[in-house]
Structure 1
Amino acid sequence: MRFRVLGPLEVTSPAASGPVTPRAAKIRAVLATLLVCANEVVSVDSLIDELWGENPPRTATTTLQVYISQLRKMLQAFDPEFGRETLVTRPPGYALHLDPAHLDLTVFEELHHSGREALLRRDHAAAADLQRRALALWRAPLASDTPHGALLARTAVRLAETRSAALEQRVRAELQLGRHLDLVAELRSIVAEMPMREEFHALLMVALYRSGRQADALRVFAQLRRALVEELAIEPGSRIQQLHQRILAGDGELLRSPAVPAPVPAVVPGPRTVPGGPGTQQLPARDPAFAGRTEDLDRLGVLLRDVPAGGCVAVAGAAGVGKTALAVAAAHELDARFPDGRVFVELTDPDPASPVGALRELLGRLGVSGPLPSDLGELRSLLRRSTEGRRVLLVLDGSGCAELIRPLLPATSGSTALVTCRRVPAGLTDRVLELNVLPPDEARELFVAAAGRRVPLRGAEAQVREVAELCGGLPLALRAAAARLASRPHWGPKMLAARLRDERRRLPELTAAAPGFHDRLRSSYEEAPPDLRRAFRLLGLLPAGPFGPRTAAAVLGENPARTGTVLRDLVEARLLHRVADGPTRGTHHRLHDLWRLLARECLANETPQPALRAATARMAAGFTEQALAADSAAEVAGLPALEWFALHQDGLVEVVQACHAAGLWAQSVRLADAMTGMLEARAAWEAWEACHGLALDAARRLEDLAAEARLLRSLGDLAWQRRELTAAAEYYEGALLTADAAPALAERGRALVGLADLQLDTGGFEGAAALLSPALDAVSGHPRGRYEAHRALGLLALETGRPAEAEGHFTQCLDTAGALGDTRLESFARRCLSRARGGAPAPAGWTELRPGVWRLAAAPA
C-alpha cells in the first residue's frame, strides 16, 4: 500500500484498480496527521485538537476511537497485512508504522537531503537531478483536500519552505551547469508566484545577466525594490543589493561557472589598483525601519577607535538580533572617520567560500581591477597595498570562522574591519559588542517603523506593546510581525496580537509573511552538534522563564558537571542566554520565548516518544522535589518559600499539564500533591483547580483509590475556601467513600476533618466534635493528618471557650510540625498557641483557620 500527502491525500493498493482514499473528511484528517508523523506516536490530545480545535465535543475520545477503527478496517480490506501491527495503539495515542519508501513525504525529504549534500560537495549534476526528482513528487500543497488543524497547518508551512529550498537548490545547481538560458522562463514564473522571495529574484538576475541581458537583470531588481518599499517599507537585503552592484558594474566574475570556464587571454596583465579619487562606498542602502540601538551605536563608535593593524571589532549575537543592521547603520554614520572607503562583504554568500574567493571579491570592491592572483599570500600583499595610507572600513558580515576572516583584516594602520558573527572567532579580537534583544520601547519603535505608514496604529499602543512583547524584542521577529500586519492591514494590531498569543501559531504566523524567518531562527540549531541539539530540544520542555542548573540537569538526565558544560556550549552557540540576575541564588539560564517554541517544535518532530516521556518524567521529578521543599522549608534557593512558589507557580501547573498529556499519571499525581499546601496558602484557586482536576483524572486512570480520595479531599478544601460549601461537602463525602473503598484509613480521617471544618464554619460545634473524634483515631499513624485533626480540635476548643484544651491541641501541632521539619506548619502552630494563651490577638473579626487561610466574621446586623 502506498500513501501520498504532497497534494490531495491518496492511498493506493495493488489489490484495487484505483485509489482507496477515505472519503469522510474527519477520517482523512486522522490519516493525514498520522502520515506526517509516520512511525511516531501521535497523542490522543493532539488528534482531538487536530479534528476539533479548541471546542471538542464531550465524546471526542470515543469518536476518535471509532475513526481509528474505521480507518483500520477500511485499509485492511485492501491489504490484509494492514492491521494492528501497522496502525497501532501506543500510549498516549496511536502510531502508523510504514516503510519509508511507501510514503511520498519521506521519499521527498530523503531526496532533498541527498541533493543538499551533493550541492555542498559541488556535485552539481547529482544535486540538480536529486532535487528535480524530489520536486516531482509534489502535486499540490500538503493534504490539500483535507481539513487542517494546528499540527497539519504547522507541517504544511514547514514543508512549503522545504519545497522552496529544494527548488532554489535545484536552480543553483543548474546555473552552475551553465543552463541559464533554459532557466529564465521558469524563474520568471517563480518570481511572479512568490514576488517577495529575494533569493529567486537573485537567481533570475544571474540567469539573465549570463544570458547577455544586463538591462533585464537590473530591471528585475528595480521591480523587487519597488514592491518591498511600497508593501513593507523595507529595502532589499544586503546580498541582493551586492549582486545588483556587481551587475551594474559589469562584473565579469558573475559570468563564470565551473561548467563554463571563462577564456584565458593570451597576455595576462597584472592587477591594477585605483588609489585616488573619492572613497569607495559599497554599503547596502540605509534601512528606513532601523530604530533604537543608540547606546549600541555609541559603544561601537568607541570600539572602532584606534584599532591596531590586523585587528578588528566584532558585533556578536544570536540569529535575528540585528547584527547586520547595526553594522550597516554604524558604517553609514562613520563616513567622516573612514573617508577613503566603506565596503560591505557578505561572507555567508556561496561565492567567497574560501579566503581566496573572499579576498578576490573584497579587492574588487576596493577598486582593484584586472585579473587577480590565486595565491593567498599574493592576495594579502595586494590588500595591504590597497589600504596603505588610506582609511577604509571593511564590514565583514556573517562568519565566525577565524580562518576565513583573518586574511581579510587590513594590516595597515588607519583601516579596520567590523565583523558580524554569532560566535566570536577564537583569538581574533578582544573588542566585542555583545548584541541583545531590544528593550521594550525600542522594540515598539522598530515594529511601528517596519509596519510603515499604510498600517494604522494610532490608538493601539497597548496592542503594539503586546506584539513587541510576544516577539521577545527580537528584531527579526518584529520585522516579520510588521510584514504580517502590512500584508493584512485590515487585521489591525489587536488581531495580530491575538494570533501571536497562541503559542502553537506564533512561529507559523511570523513565517507567513517573512518566509525566511523560520530558517533564520533555526539556523543556529542546525549548525550545532547532535548532543547540543538534543539538549536544546529537551530544555524546550521547561516552562518559560529562568531555570537553575538542578532543573536543567533533571530534564537532560545528566550529572551537574556535564550539565554545566552543555549549558555553557549552548550559550556559545547562541541557543541559550545566561541570566545575570536570576530570580534565586546561583547561576540561571533561559531560552528566549521564540527559541523555546522552536525547541518544542523540534522536540515534537525529532525526539522519539519514549525519550520525550522519559525527559518529561525527569523534569516532573525535579520540580516535585523543589515543590516539596517549598511546602516545608522556610527558604528555597535563597528565597522565602512562598515567594519561590509564586515565582514558579504557572510553570509548575504547566508541568502537571505536560505530564498528564504524556500519560504520566503517577508523576501528575505526585507533583500536584506536592503543590497542595502552597496553593492553599496563596489562595491560588485557578491553579489549584487546574492541577488537582488533572491529577484526579490521573489517579482514576491509575485506579489508585488512596490518591483519588486525597485529591477529592483537596478539591473539597478548595471549594471550602471559595465558600462553595455544598460542593465542598460533596467532595469530602466522595473522599470518604473512596477512602473506605481503598481502604485508606488516613485519608478517611482527613476527609472527616474536612467535614468537621464545614461544621465549624457554620457554628455546628457538636457535629464537628462528633466527626473529629473518629478522625483523630484514623490519622494516628499519619503525621500530617494528625496535625490537621489537632488543628481543628484546637479551633473547636477556642470557639467553645476552652483555651487550656486548645493549648494542648496546638502544642501537639507544634510537636508534629517540628518532627516533620515543616516550618510553615510550625509557624501556624505557634500563632495558634499564642491565641490560646491570650497573646497577640488577630486583627478584629479575623480568624486564621489554616496556615495562611483567614475567615472574616460577618458584621453584626
Structure 2
Amino acid sequence: MTGAGTEFRLLGPVEVHQPRTGSRVVPPGAKQRALLAALVVEAGHTVSVERLADELWGAHPPRGAANAVQAHVARLRRLVGPLDGRAGREVIMTEPTGYLLRLGEATTDAGHFRRLSAEGRAAAASDPDRAATLLERALSLWRGPALADCRGGPVCAAEADRLEEQRLLTLEAFYEARLRSARPDGITDDLERLAEEHPLRERFADLLMVALQRAGRHSEALAVYERVRRRLATELGVTPGPSLRGRREALLRQGPPPFPSWERTSERYERYAGYEGYGEDLGHAGDVTDDDPALRAAEMARIGRRLAELSHELRNLTRRFDALTESSHYVTDPLSRSFADQADPR
C-alpha cells in the first residue's frame, strides 16, 4: 500500500520504504527499478511511452515496445499497491500518451534531502550550528550513489547527476558551517579526503586551506593551493578562481582567513543543482561565469543532456503529429503544421 508514511527512496538503491513497519519493497528486476525511478523522478507529470521505452531499452527497444512498457507497468502496480489503500486509486495512472505517478501523501528521500539542505543553507548566516545540524541530517539520508542500480537511461542518469551535484554542494555548505560554528575542530581529515577525491573542485580546497591555516599549518595550506593550481593548469588549462587566490594572498600576508558570503554559496547551489532542471529556461546559459571549473563542467554536461532529451522528445512528437495528420487527411490548425514543418523539414 502506498500512502501516508510511504517513502520512495532514490538516494542509493531504489526502493519503497514503510517507516511505520520498517518494511521495504525492492522491485525485483533492473527494468522494474528503472521504471519506478523514472516515474518517481517525474512524479506528477506524464511520462510518454516512448520516453519510458528509451529509459528501459535505449537504442534497442523490443518489438511492440508499448506493450512491453504496459506489461512492466502492470507488474509495478501490483508491487506498490493502490494509492492510500483505496481500490481504484492507482499510484500509477494511465494517460493518453503515457503514465503518471501520483505521490499522494507519500514522500521521497530526495525531496526530504532537498528541504533539509535548503533549511540548512537558509540558517547558515545567522546560526551556523543549526545549519550544520540540518545539513548533516540531509547528508545522512544518502545510502550510496543516487539511483545506484538504475542509471542507464537518460531520465535516471540526469537525475543521478543532479542529485550528486546537490550532495557535493551540501557537503561544501556543511563544512563551511562547521568552520563557522562553535565546533570547528576535527574536520581537517574529512576535507583532505574530499579535496583528494574531487581535485578540480576548488571549494573543498578552499575550506581545507582555512582549516589548515587555523591550525597554524600555513605551509601545508599553501601546498594545497599549489597542488590545485597545477592540476587546473594541466587538465583544464585554467588558473584558480578569485576565492582561492584570495585565500593564498591572505596566507602570504598572515591575515585572517576570509569566507565568501553565504548569499554567494546559496546562489551557486540554486544555479547548478536546481531540481527544476527539466523545465528551466536554458536561454541564458551563456551568462554563467562561475569561478569553479568543476561547476562549469557540470553545467555544460547538464545542458548537453537536456539538449539530447529535447531532441528525442521533438522527434517523437513530430512522428506522432505526422501519424495523426496522415490518419485524418487534414490539419485543423495551420500554425501547428507550420511548427511541425520547421521542426522536421523533410
- Given the two structures, how large is their TM-score scaled by the length of structure 2? 0.76
Task: Tell me the residue number matched to 1:350.
Answer: 261
- 1:187 alignment counterpart: 191
Residues 675 and 237 from structure 1, CA distance in 2 versus in 1: closer, same or farther, beyond 3 angstroms? Answer: closer
Letter in 2 for 1:657: T
> Any conservation in 2 of the 1:13–1:78 contact (CA below 8 Å)?
no
Residue in structure 2 matched with residue 616 of structure 1 by the alignment: none
Task: State the alpha-carbon separation in 2 of the partners of residues 16 and 123 from structure 1.
Answer: 36
Q: Tell me how far apart the structure 2 counterparts of residues 40 and 473 of structure 1 sit (CA, whole Å).
A: 25
Which of 88, 94, 118 aligns to 1:113? It is 118
Distance change (3 Å), C-alpha of 1:668 and 1:88: farther
For residues 54 and 197 of structure 1, do their structure 2 counterparts lie closer, same or farther at Cα, with a shift above 3 Å needed?
same
Q: Secondary structure at the match of 1:180?
A: coil
Structure 2 distance, partners of 1:77, 1:101, is 12
Within the candidate set 120, 127, 131, 1:123 is matched to 127
Per the TM alignment, residue 122 of structure 1 is displaced from its structure 2 partner at its CA by 2.5
Choose the corresponding residue for 1:64, options 66, 69, 88.
69
**2:257 corresponds to which residue?**
254
Q: CA deviation at 1:473?
A: 12
Q: Distance in 1 between matches of 2:253 and 2:37?
A: 51
Q: Which has the higher contact order (CA 8 A, sep 6+)?
A: 2
Q: What is the identity, as a one-letter code, of the residue corresponding to 2:261?
A: P
Question: What residue is the counterpart of 2:273 in the other structure?
Answer: none
Contact kept, 8 Å, 1:16 with 1:78, in 2: the verdict is: no
Contact 1:10 1:19 in 2 (8 A): yes
Deviations 1:680-722 (A, max 9, x none): xxxx9x844xxxxxxxxxxxxxxxxxxxxxxxxxxxxxxxxxx
Task: Assess, with a 3 A threshold, how the Cα gap between structure 1 residues 143 and 654 changes in structure 2: closer, same or farther.
Answer: closer
Corresponding residue number in structure 1 for 2:242: 238
Q: Given the alignment of the two structures, is residue 30 of structure 1 paired with residue 35 of structure 2, yes or no? A: yes
Change (3 A) 1:675 1:170: closer
Distance 1:172 1:90, change over 3 A: same
Amino acid at match of 1:254: P
Deviating more after overlay: 149-158 vs 91-100: 91-100
Per the alignment, residue 691 of structure 1 pairs with none
Deviations 1:32-91 (A, max 9, x none): 111112232222222111112233223111110111111001222998448643221233
Cα distance in 2 for partners of 1:473, 1:147 equals: 25
Cα distance in 1 for partners of 2:170, 2:87 equals: 33
Pair 1:515-2:295 in alignment:
yes
**Residue in 2 aligned with 1:315?**
none
CA distance in 2, matches of 1:248, 1:8: 47
Residue number among 86, 92, 98 corresponding to 1:93 in the alignment: 98
> How far apart, in 1, do the equivalents of 2:321 and 2:300 lie?
33
Structure 1, unaligned runs of 5 or more? 258-348, 354-471, 480-510, 523-593, 605-649, 689-861
Q: Would you say the 8 A contact 2:9–2:16 is kept in 1?
A: yes
Identify the match of residue 21 of structure 1 among 21, 26, 35: 26
Q: Distance between the aligned counterparts of 1:520 and 1:117, measured in 2?
A: 27
- 1:136–1:60 CA distance, 2 compared to 1 (3 A): same
1:747-805 CA-to-partner distances (Å, cap 9, x unmatched) read xxxxxxxxxxxxxxxxxxxxxxxxxxxxxxxxxxxxxxxxxxxxxxxxxxxxxxxxxxx
1: CA distance, partners of 2:318 / 2:156: 23
Deviation at residue 127 of structure 1 after TM alignment: 1.6
Please, which moves more after superposition, 165-174 or 227-236?
Answer: 227-236
Partners of 1:84 and 1:193 in 2: CA distance: 46
1:262-661 paired onto structure 2 within 5 Å: 349-350=260-261, 514-518=294-298, 657=318, 660=321
Q: Give the letter aligned to residue 223 of structure 1.
A: R
Q: 174, 197, 203: which one pairs with 2:201?
A: 197
| Superposition pairs of residues 141-156 of structure 1, within 5 angstroms | 141-156=145-160
1:39 aligns with 2:44: yes
Code of the residue aligned with 1:23 in structure 2: it is P
Aligned twin of 1:569: none
The Cα of 1:123 is off from its aligned counterpart by 2.3
Once residues 77 and 53 of structure 2 are traced to their aligned partners in structure 1, the CA distance between those partners, rounded to angstroms, is: 18
- Which whole-Å CA distance do the structure 2 matches of 1:350 and 1:215 have between them? 26
2:268 maps to what in 1? none
Secondary structure in structure 1 of the residue aligned to 2:103: coil
Q: Greater Rg, structure 1 or structure 2?
A: 1
Distance in 1 (CA, whole Å) between partners of 2:32 and 2:288 is 39
Q: Name the CA distance, whole Å, in 2 between partners of 1:40 and 1:32.
A: 13
1:731 alignment partner in structure 2: none
Is 1:4 aligned to 2:9, yes or no?
A: yes
Structure 2: any 5+ residue segments left out of the alignment? Answer: 1-5, 265-283
Q: Is the 8 A contact 1:115 1:130 kept in 2?
A: yes
Q: Secondary structure at the match of 1:145?
A: coil
C-alpha contact (below 8 Å) 1:180/1:208 kept by paired residues:
no
* Cα distance change on mapping 1:183 and 1:78 into 2, 3 Å: same
Aligned residue pairs, count: 316
Secondary structure class of the residue paired with 2:24: coil
CA distance in structure 1 between the partners assigned to 2:106 and 2:216 by the alignment: 44
Partner residue in 2 for 1:176: 180
Report how far residue 153 of structure 1 moved. 0.9
Contact kept, 8 Å, 1:124 with 1:176, in 2: the verdict is yes
**1:87-123: CA deviation from partner (whole Å, max 9, x where unpaired):** 212332212112566311111111112222222x522
**Residue deviations 1:110-155, cap 9 Å, x none?**
1112222222x52212221111111111111221122420111111
**Paired position in structure 2 for 1:208:** 212
Q: Secondary structure at the match of 1:19?
A: strand
Rounded Cα–Cα distance in structure 1 between residues aligned with 2:161 and 2:47: 19
Instruction: Find out whether 1:134 has 2:138 as its counterpart.
Output: yes
Give a deviation string over 1:254-273, Cα, whole Å, max 9, x none. Answer: 28x9xxxxxxxxxxxxxxxx
SS of the counterpart of 1:95? strand
Secondary structure, in 3 states, of the residue corresponding to 1:182?
coil
Change (3 A) 1:32 1:595: closer
**Equivalent-residue separation in structure 2 for 1:189 and 1:145 (angstroms):** 25
- Determine the C-alpha separation between the residues in 1 that align with 2:107 and 2:262: 38
Distance 1:227 1:672, change over 3 A: same
Distance 1:11 1:597, change over 3 A: closer
Match of 1:40, SS state, is: coil
Q: Secondary structure at the match of 1:514?
A: helix
Q: CA deviation at 1:673?
A: 8.4
Question: What secondary structure, in the 3-state scheme, does the structure 2 residue paired with 1:181 have?
Answer: coil
Describe the superposition over 1:396-415 as per-residue Cα deviations: whole angstroms up to 9, x where unpaired: xxxxxxxxxxxxxxxxxxxx
Matched with 2:274 is none
